[in-house]
Structure 1
Amino acid sequence: MSTVMWPDHLLSLADWDALPEDNSRQYELAEGVLQVSPRPVSNHQWAITQLVIQLGTQLPADLAVLPDVEVVVVDSFPPTVRVPDVVVVPTAVAKGNPARYAAKDVLLAVEVISPGSRRIDRVTKVNEYAEAGIPDYWIVDLDNPVSITAFQLINGDYELNAEVDDVLSVTAPAPLTVNVRDLVP
């Protein structure tokens, strides 16, 4: 059995970059603290894939949808780096192939709730993403009935835009329609 050496201090972005690559778990950085969680299960991955497909077919050419990319929510020390399940960013930014995205470049962040992430997704990330200025935030809840809660940033705070368990229709970051029931197998 090998021993893993965990950081014993708050991490900077340089420390974050220096961590060894490990795809066996999911990692985020919250105010310099390394957060480790299990990789998402199949239904979670299914929902992400279906969202990427549905959004990708509707977005204009100047917007791109991407799964599982790093977003710097706070770049000052101690930094916060989140990994939303899905983001929409300008295509020009995505073509630059950044190692991570600045929050200012993210037009929509989507989190699919996992066991253990409900409070983080519904409370912590709502506040972090709003403070970072991400214009739209969606939460996908796979518990029956499957639903999407869509928030829009208004005057620095998220306001509920829609909460549906059938079809989500929004106008930002582009006119989009999501068949919620297709997000589970």
Structure 2
Amino acid sequence: MDEGETPDTGRVTTMATTEPTTRRTVLHGEPPFTVDDLLTFPDDGNRYELFNGSLLVSPSPIPLHQRAIARLMRILEDAAPPEYEPMQEVNLRVSDRDFFIPDLVVVPTETVEETELMFAPRDLLLAVEIVSPSTRARDRHLKRAAYAAAGIPVYWRIELSDGPSIHVHELAGDEYKPAERHDAGEAANLSVPFEVSFDPAVLVRPRA
């Protein structure tokens, strides 16, 4: 268990959550929501996800979060072989009542042109979430369990407030193994889904 985390009981619970917003949004449908319901939601700047029909709502990422995504995207683009493609904020449909938007993923290049709107879990080689204060429990526990249950081989959790640090979870059966942690100040030498090496500190540094 990583420092500062709560014990993992193996059970995942959630409630419909709404982040603060300056505008009032009227959503169609009622809980439990389905992916088809999400398609009717307005484009109001929020990110809507589903876990077992419960609505998970997040505002647009803060600037530091966006910087980290952009830095990591460039690192993975430079390292990825032609048959793999990193992408930001794709639609991931797990079931009729489970839908996520990972911060970043790696998929086989051939699936990009074949996918019109939503990727399936089998398409993802890697899912990445960058933790913010409002999504801490969700990213550490709920999404870790959901991505493992969906069979996504590797999950990276990036803690911006911790250096930053990268916590690498690799699938073993239907659960992720304990995270391999990589702290800022030293190279994280990673081999899955392809070889890449970088210091987590570069994710939050200003441009040179």
User: What's the RMSD between the two structures over aligned residues?
Assistant: 1.7
Residues 151 and 160 in structure 1, CA contact (< 8 A), matched pair in contact too: yes
Q: 1:141–1:12: structure 2 CA closer, same or farther, 3 Å change rule? A: same
Residues 33 and 53 in structure 2, CA contact (< 8 A), matched pair in contact too: yes
* TM-score under structure 2 length normalisation: 0.81
Measure, in 1, the Cα distance between the counterparts of 2:51 and 2:130: 18
Say whether residues 1:14 and 2:36 are aligned partners: yes
What letter matches 1:183 in structure 2?
L
Measure, in 1, the Cα distance between the counterparts of 2:102 and 2:71: 15
Q: CA deviation at 1:35?
A: 1.9
Measure, in 2, the Cα distance between the counterparts of 1:91 and 1:2: 38
Say whether residues 1:66 and 2:84 are aligned partners: no
Structure 1: stretches of 5+ with no match in the other structure? none
Choose from 43, 46, 49 the match for 2:67. 46
Say whether residues 1:127 and 2:148 are aligned partners: no
Residues 149 and 160 in structure 1, CA contact (< 8 A), matched pair in contact too: no
| Aligned equivalent of 2:98 | 80
After alignment, is 94-103 or 43-52 more displaced? 94-103
* TM-score under structure 1 length normalisation: 0.91
Structure 1 runs of 4+ aligned residues shifted over 6 Å read none
What letter matches 1:155 in structure 2?
G
After alignment, is 2-11 or 34-43 more displaced? 2-11
Q: CA deviation at 1:97?
A: 4.1
| Aligned equivalent of 2:172 | 154
Say whether residues 1:177 and 2:190 are aligned partners: no
| Aligned equivalent of 1:168 | 188
Measure, in 1, the Cα distance between the counterparts of 2:89 and 2:81: 21
Classify the secondary structure of the residue corresponding to 1:131.
helix
| Aligned equivalent of 2:156 | 138
Residues 103 and 128 in structure 2, CA contact (< 8 A), matched pair in contact too: yes
Measure, in 2, the Cα distance between the counterparts of 1:33 and 1:161: 27
What letter matches 2:62 in structure 1?
V
After alignment, is 148-157 or 95-104 more displaced? 95-104
CA-to-aligned-CA distance 1:86-121 (integer Å, 9 cap, x gap): 100000111224311111111100000011111111
Q: CA deviation at 1:21?
A: 2.5
Classify the secondary structure of the residue corresponding to 1:20.
coil
Q: CA deviation at 1:178?
A: 2.8
Percent sequence identity is: 32
Q: 1:143–1:34: structure 2 CA closer, same or farther, 3 Å change rule? A: same
What letter matches 2:127 in structure 1?
A
Q: CA deviation at 1:161?
A: 5.2
Q: 1:178–1:100: structure 2 CA closer, same or farther, 3 Å change rule? A: farther
Equivalent pairs counted in the alignment come to 181
Q: CA deviation at 1:5?
A: 2.0
Q: CA deviation at 1:80?
A: 1.0
Structure 2: stretches of 5+ with no match in the other structure? 1-21
Residues 38 and 48 in structure 2, CA contact (< 8 A), matched pair in contact too: no
Measure, in 2, the Cα distance between the counterparts of 1:98 and 1:64: 16
